[in-house]
Amino acid sequence: MNKQNGTFNQEYARQLDQNDPLARYRDEFYIKEGTIYFDGNSLGLLSKRAEQTLLDLLHSWKTLGIDGWTEGDNPWFYLSESMGDQMAPLVGATNEEVIVTGSTTSNLHQLTASFYQPGGKKTKILTDELAFPTDIYALQSQLKLKGMDPSEHLVKVKSTDGHTVDEDDIIQAMSDNIALIVLPSILYRSGQILDMERLTKVAHKRNILIGFDLCHSIGSIPHQLSEWEVDFAFWCNYKHLNGGPGAVGGLYVNKRHFGKDPGLAGWFSSRKDKQFDMEHNLTPAEHAGAFQMGTPHVLSMAPLIGSLSMFNEAGIEQIRSKSLQLTGYMLDLIDHKLKDYGFTVRNPMEDEKRGGHIFLEHPEAARICKALKSHQIIPDFRSPNGIRLAPVALYNTFEEVWLVLEKLKQIMDDEEYKKFENKRGVVA
């Protein structure tokens, strides 16, 4: 942001909102009156379109019964594939490479079971020490299932600062004994974006398969997974994509791996025209659908139909542009308003390395988050001393960014946070 005179006043923020090409989408969401919601990187808000498509799918069950599997506007039997078609542009993939299925953890189990094939010297899995815990738990489990000791065969690249990971250190760790690499596209705490294209090229030169956890990047930044030749990826759909709590996840498998048997097979791994032959010999789908397992959770997928329609209208490039403006403006205001209050920004400053949220550290972070909530500002606390603030492009405004920073300064000036215990809640 250009720090002209007046940049830091409320009127400037309002001018930015007046010039926002995505401003019309805010009215599509249910936003509690008087509340500023900055936790969309944990759970996105409900949109009216998502609500309607959920009601539509309920109506198809109500009126069609079992015929809903093959009839209606969104036949359930093909829903995972049709939604994969809608989601493919967000990850830069062909339609057949994307399927909406499972959850982050179940999809990682599936993909690791399919692509981790230890042999000879190549027996280890490479990840990073800042990965989200579910990824580590799943990788440890898969190693044990293959008879490997996770303490020896799960290699975690160290962080030098506890917040970011140096890509050169990741590359340095791509040794001859690495069989598989699983990394986040965006680190969930600091919001650091890893260069997926660069890491994939180096991994392939060293004959290593590589996949990415896109939970904090899907719907937040553009991807070109097919062009980069990433082997696989997986993600949840309830953060930036606003699919609802526990929404069905998604996965991507590069087309060069089509025909590979799924490591964890199930009925919906089948080729569609063979599935109801009821044979005991699986004929896998000839695309990413082979990596499905059980019957799709139709009602948990339904809100995504409406939500994805907005993303396809707005375009991920335009969404990313506004997201960078929002977080850039927030960083300017933090520097202007909070420099004397003990906050430390842990995000990368460069646009190309910063995801869709800001991560602040403060010794009184839990208290500060509770104080913000008492003013109907919804942040996200991360133990032990982190505050994540996510201004989301489709429903947050520049004026909200200004208001949050103004209120945060007031909380610190008045020491209002001292009213609260510096301890996280059960869900933080």
Q: Is residue 361 domain-shared with residue 309, that is, in the same domain?
A: no
Q: Which of 12, 5, 29 is nearest to 325 (CA)?
A: 12
Check whether 235 is labelled as a binding-site residue.
no
Q: Is residue 193 domain-shared with residue 330, that is, in the same domain?
A: no
Q: Is residue 231 domain-shared with residue 257, that is, in the same domain?
A: yes
Q: Is residue 308 domain-shared with residue 359, that is, in the same domain?
A: no
Q: What is the DSSP letter of 263?
A: S
Check whether 398 is labelled as a binding-site residue.
no
* Domain encompassing residue 173: 51-313
Check whether 61 is labelled as a binding-site residue.
no
The C-alpha atoms of residue 135 and residue 130 are separated, in whole angstroms, by: 10
Q: Which of 357, 239, 355 is nearest to 304 (CA)?
A: 239
| Bridge partners (DSSP) listed for residue 379 | none
Check whether 21 is labelled as a binding-site residue.
no
C-alpha distance across the termini of the chain, in Å: 31
> Which stretches of the chain drop beneath a pLDDT of 70?
1-5, 426-428
Check whether 344 is labelled as a binding-site residue.
no
CATH code of the domain containing 383: 3.90.1150.10
- By the 10 Å C-beta count (0-12 exposed, 13-18 middle, 19+ buried), 266 is classed as middle
Q: Would residue 18 count as lying in a domain?
A: yes
Within 10 angstroms of residue 272's Cβ, the number of other Cβ atoms is 12
The C-alpha atoms of residue 138 and residue 132 are separated, in whole angstroms, by: 11
Check whether 216 is labelled as a binding-site residue.
yes
The pLDDT of residue 397 is 98
Check whether 105 is labelled as a binding-site residue.
yes
- Phi, psi of 212, deg, nearest 5: -130, 145
Q: Is residue 135 domain-shared with residue 238, that is, in the same domain?
A: yes
For 326, the token pair is 């929002």
Instruction: Answer whether 370's CB lies under 8 Å from 22's CB.
Output: no
The C-alpha atoms of residue 185 and residue 340 are separated, in whole angstroms, by: 33
The pLDDT of residue 2 is 45
The pLDDT of residue 1 is 44
User: Which of 313, 336, 354 is the last residue before a domain boundary?
Assistant: 313
Q: Would residue 371 count as lying in a domain?
A: yes
Q: Is residue 55 domain-shared with residue 80, that is, in the same domain?
A: yes
Q: Is residue 293 domain-shared with residue 325, that is, in the same domain?
A: no
Check whether 134 is labelled as a binding-site residue.
yes
Check whether 115 is labelled as a binding-site residue.
no
In the three-class reduction of DSSP (H, G, I as helix; E, B as strand; rest coil), residue 253 is classed as strand
The pLDDT of residue 242 is 98
CATH code of the domain containing 106: 3.40.640.10
The pLDDT of residue 424 is 73
Q: Is residue 252 domain-shared with residue 398, that is, in the same domain?
A: no
Q: Is residue 196 domain-shared with residue 342, that is, in the same domain?
A: no
For 138, the token pair is 């799943």
The C-alpha atoms of residue 163 and residue 35 are separated, in whole angstroms, by: 30
User: Which of 263, 285, 313 is the last residue before a domain boundary?
Assistant: 313
**Strand ranges (DSSP E) for 101-243?**
124-128, 154-157, 178-184, 209-213, 232-235
The pLDDT of residue 421 is 87
The C-alpha atoms of residue 153 and residue 146 are separated, in whole angstroms, by: 11
Contacts (Cβ under 8 Å, ≥6 apart) of 183: 126, 127, 128, 131, 170, 194, 199, 210, 211, 212, 213
Q: Where are the alpha helices (DSSP H) in 267-383?
A: 272-275, 298-314, 316-337, 365-374
**Positive or negative torsion for Cα 273, 279, 281, 282:** positive
The pLDDT of residue 426 is 65
The C-alpha atoms of residue 304 and residue 333 are separated, in whole angstroms, by: 34
Q: Would residue 5 count as lying in a domain?
A: no
The pLDDT of residue 117 is 96
The pLDDT of residue 17 is 98
Q: Which of 24, 25, 7 is nearest to 16 (CA)?
A: 7
